[in-house]
Structure 1
Amino acid sequence: MKTNMGNLDRMIRFLLALVMGLLIYYDVVGGVISYILLAIIGIFALTSLVGFCPFYAVLGWNTFSQKR
């Protein structure tokens, strides 16, 4: 599978997942919103670790810069 995410994009996704996780952990958000955030956390964490985002592939976006 070809990567389509650059390091900055991956880091931002991982940090957002971490912040959302902390919001849930410290009960800043709760109820249905916490379950929605958990789903987003899972998606962000997985895509940042793998380096591939299916949504980017559908739109044709690529944040990965290749050195020539």
Structure 2
Amino acid sequence: MKLNIGSTDRIIRIMLGIAIGYFAYSTVIEASWVQVLLYAIAAILVVTALIGNCPLYSIFKINTCEIEK
């Protein structure tokens, strides 16, 4: 699998994922589908940061990784 997410991008994705997950957990939102959507977004951000590959980056041919593997 080709890496296309750089280290700065990974850090930002992990921080945003944690922040969005915490926001979904801590707030009292009347519509539960909003919480599910926020959890899904947070999970996608964290998982793509951990594996180092973003499918949308591949589609749009974006590469923020400094090292080509």
Q: TM-score, normalised by structure 2?
A: 0.86
Q: Which residue of 1 aligns with 2:43?
A: 42
Verify the 8 A CA contact 1:2 1:52 in the aligned structure 2.
yes
Q: Distance in 1 between matches of 2:10 and 2:38?
A: 18
Establish whether residue 8 from structure 1 lines up as the match of residue 8 from structure 2: yes
Identity %: 36
Q: Which residue of 1 aligns with 2:34?
A: 33
Verify the 8 A CA contact 2:4 2:57 in the aligned structure 1.
yes
Alignment length, in residue pairs?
67
Secondary structure in 2 matching 1:60: coil
Verify the 8 A CA contact 1:20 1:41 in the aligned structure 2.
yes
Verify the 8 A CA contact 2:10 2:50 in the aligned structure 1.
yes
Q: TM-score, normalised by structure 1?
A: 0.87
AA partner of residue 3 (structure 1): L
Q: Which residue of 2 aligns with 1:53?
A: 54
Task: Name structure 1 gaps, 5 residues minimum.
Answer: none
Q: CA deviation at 1:66?
A: 2.5
- 1:29 and 1:14, CA in 2 relative to 1: closer, same or farther beyond 3 A? farther
Verify the 8 A CA contact 2:21 2:39 in the aligned structure 1.
yes
